[in-house]
Amino acid sequence: MPVENNNGDTRYKIRQNSWLAKMAAWKLKTRSVAFVLGSTIHLHNVSPAEFLENKSWLRHELCHIRQFEQHGFFIFIAKYIWESIRHGYYNNKYEAEARRAENEE
């Protein structure tokens, strides 16, 4: 079962050993992965405790949860994919926003 958490106004769940995150790690050729679908943060090769301790990483993923809330589940996925196709992963405006959120207190 995912763990329920609360960070200010952002409610989220954490799913450990997610097979979706495992596939993402394989695709991205990285060891540890966290990614957001709706209000759930999927983790692979990182424990929830380690992830929550990494505040800038947590803030990045919480920003994506707010993006899902703002746009709606399917619309956000469509917009995100469209942004990635047009500008690439790094310059995707939703990733840029999440990177800015990393440094916010």
Closer Cβ to Zn ion, 16 or 57, answer by number = 57
Q: Which stretch binds Zn ion (CB under 5 A): 11-19, 46-54, 84-92, 93-101?
A: 93-101
Q: Tell me if 58 contacts Zn ion by CB under 5 A.
A: no
Does residue 33 contact residue 44 with C-beta atoms inside 8 Å? yes
- Using left for φ > 0, alpha for ψ between -120 and 50, and beta otherwise, residue 45 falls in left
Q: Tell me if 98 contacts Zn ion by CB under 5 A.
A: yes
Closer Cβ to Zn ion, 11 or 93, answer by number = 93
Separation of alpha carbons 51 and 34, rounded Å: 8
- Binding residues for Zn ion, rule: CB under 5 A, are 95, 98
